[in-house]
Every structure is written in C-alpha cells, then in structure tokens.
Amino acid sequence: MDSFPAPALELVASMRAAAAADPSRAIAFQGAPGANSHRAAMEFAPECLPLPCFSFGDALDAVKSGAAGCAMIPIENSQAGRVADIHFLLPESGLSIVGEYFMAIHHALMALPNADGTFGPFKAAFSHIHALNQSRRYLAERSMVPLSHADTAGAAAHVKELGDPAIAAIAPAIAADLYGLTIVDNRVEDTEDNTTRFVVLAKEPRDPASLKGQDAVTTFIFEVNNVPAALYKALGCFATNGVNMTKLESYQQGSSFAATMFYADIVGAPGDLGVDNALAELRFHAKEVRMLGTYAQARKRG
C-alpha cells in the first residue's frame, strides 16, 4: 500500500477493506482510486467492489489468491497501441479471459493553484506513459515536459503531494475531486475517438457452450514450428475454415530470439465446426497452442 502516493492511501485502505469483506464482488485493477481501470470496473459491473492494486501483477495475484473475483486489465488503446504486457502476464498467471469492455478515454489536465489563485504556466505534467502518448501533441504545443507515473490517478495524487503549482497531472476528471486538484483543461487527448479495450480475468474459464447464440471471441497464444512458411501455414488454417482472425501480435519468449510466440483473437468459439477444424489444423503446424479464454463480444468485429 505504501507504493501509492500519500493522498491516495486512505482511499486505498477503505476500498481494500470493503473488498476483503466480500471478495467475490471485488474487481482488482491496477492503479490508484480514480484511474481509468477503476472507472472501467465500475461501468462494467456497477455493483462491484473495486480493489486498487499497485501493479498489473498485483491485480492478477489478487484473483489467484481469492482476494478478488476477477481483474480488469487494459490491453490495447486505439491511439497508443498495446497497454499491458498481457502476453507475458496472462499465460503465467493461469487465469482466463472471461469478458471484455471497451471504454472511451478522456483526459483532463489538473493542478494546484498559484498563490494568487491563477493556474500555470506549467513546466511539466505527470501521467501514465500511455496517457502521455495520447496527449503528446497537446503537451508539445504548450512546451510541457511529460513525466511518467505508474498510473493516471496516482499521478494526480502525486501532484497533490508535491504541492508545486507548476507541475500538472493528466488524469480522469474524477481524480481531481478525489485528490483536491482543479481541472484546468478538459479533453486533452489528441483524438476524439480515443478508446481502450479491457479484458476481464478470472480463475475459471467460461464454458464456450454457455455462449451459444452469442457472438464470441476466442483468445489464444501459439508458437509455430521453426520451418519456412510456418506462420503462413498456421494462418491458412483459419482462412480455409472461414474463421475471422481479428488480432495477431508477435512477441519474443526468452532472450534467445529464436522462439516467437503469437497472441491471437478469432471470432467464434470452440464447438463451432470452423473453429474446431482451424484449431485442430493449427496444432499440427504449431509447437504449442494455449487457450486463454472464450467470451462474449462487447463490440462487433468486422
């Protein structure tokens, strides 16, 4: 808990106490109270008990230990790209993706007033690295130095703790209320359609059969055999069976740079003939295929 800025500690303690009293309703998230992941958890499940965690690993550990029923983790942003190292964290966690949530992201610039009650000029702004990237043009036009912090709301609490009116924070508007700052400017993100996709992680996977009649997404990772055209052949498994692959990202496993893993989303669920045939063919071409979860689409693909 001491990793959070002092202005956030009381809120963190009260939220953790509430979650401890009813862990099944708790949704773990990375960040201080008021972070975008906090907001996403509350929008996804309004009756939940949000459980703030300092790191993504801490949020996943909360689910594994039973301190939370699930975790809400951001994985990609329409402007900044990949958010969390979900490719490494999720397979190692043993958890499954059981849902997804898309949320429009709006950032506010907030700060403490000068002695005369005015605001600015600002030398720098703290925020999460992705929020800084999403507001890059705004900051550059005002000659403000971007300073990275663990999360957006934590940045607001940190600015409150610093007490320097020349240093601002970029965070969700709710963080200004929580930490006693004043919003100086709204909508400081560089694009109007700034959106983050979150995934919901739990101990037990959803039964694909429970999604019958719904549009579903299946997420998995795989490693192809180290032979020419291996990836081409692997992707052909889905093309020939009429399965739409909506996401494919590569990442290195270990330091040898010899084993490339792929993280993929497809439309459909095990039990669908095309999906079953495609995955069976993929296993022929791959060293490893590991399922990470099947869940209902929150937004139509294609």
Which residues are catalytic, by number? 196, 198
32 found inside a domain: yes
Residues 44 and 85 in one domain: yes
Distances in whole angstroms, Cα of residue 286 to Cα of each of 133, 231, 242, 261: 36, 9, 19, 10
* H or E segment to which residue 261 belongs: strand 260-267
Write out pLDDT tens, residues 72-104.
999 998 887 887 677 788 888 999 999 999 999
Residues 40 and 100 in one domain: yes
- Token pair 């997404």 is found at 217
77 found inside a domain: yes
Q: Domain count of the chain? A: 3
The last residue of one of the domains, among 177, 202, 227, is: 202
Residues 123 and 87 in one domain: no
HSE-CB of 242 using CA atoms within 13 angstroms: 3
The last residue of one of the domains, among 171, 202, 233, is: 202
Nearest one of 40, 177, 82 to 52, comparing CA atoms: 40
CATH number of the domain enclosing 36: 3.40.190.10
115 found inside a domain: yes
Q: Which residues of the chain have pLDDT under 70?
A: 1-2, 84, 254-259, 302
Owning domain of residue 242: 214-296
252 found inside a domain: yes
1 found inside a domain: no
pLDDT of residue 87: 75
pLDDT of residue 1: 41
HSE-CB of 172 using CA atoms within 13 angstroms: 19
Residues 260 and 177 in one domain: no
Residues 71 and 125 in one domain: no
Residues 98 and 118 in one domain: no
Residue 233 tokens, joined: 């052949």
85 found inside a domain: yes
pLDDT of residue 84: 66
Residues 24 and 92 in one domain: yes
209 found inside a domain: no
Write out pLDDT tens, residues 231-240.
999 999 999 9
Residues 48 and 115 in one domain: no
Residues 16 and 100 in one domain: yes
Map residue 240 onto helix, strand or coil: helix
Residues 119 and 173 in one domain: yes
What is the pTM for the complete model shown? 0.92
207 found inside a domain: no
Query: 168: burial class by Cβ within 10 Å (0-12, 13-18, 19+)?
Result: buried
Residues 45 and 92 in one domain: yes
Residues 131 and 89 in one domain: no
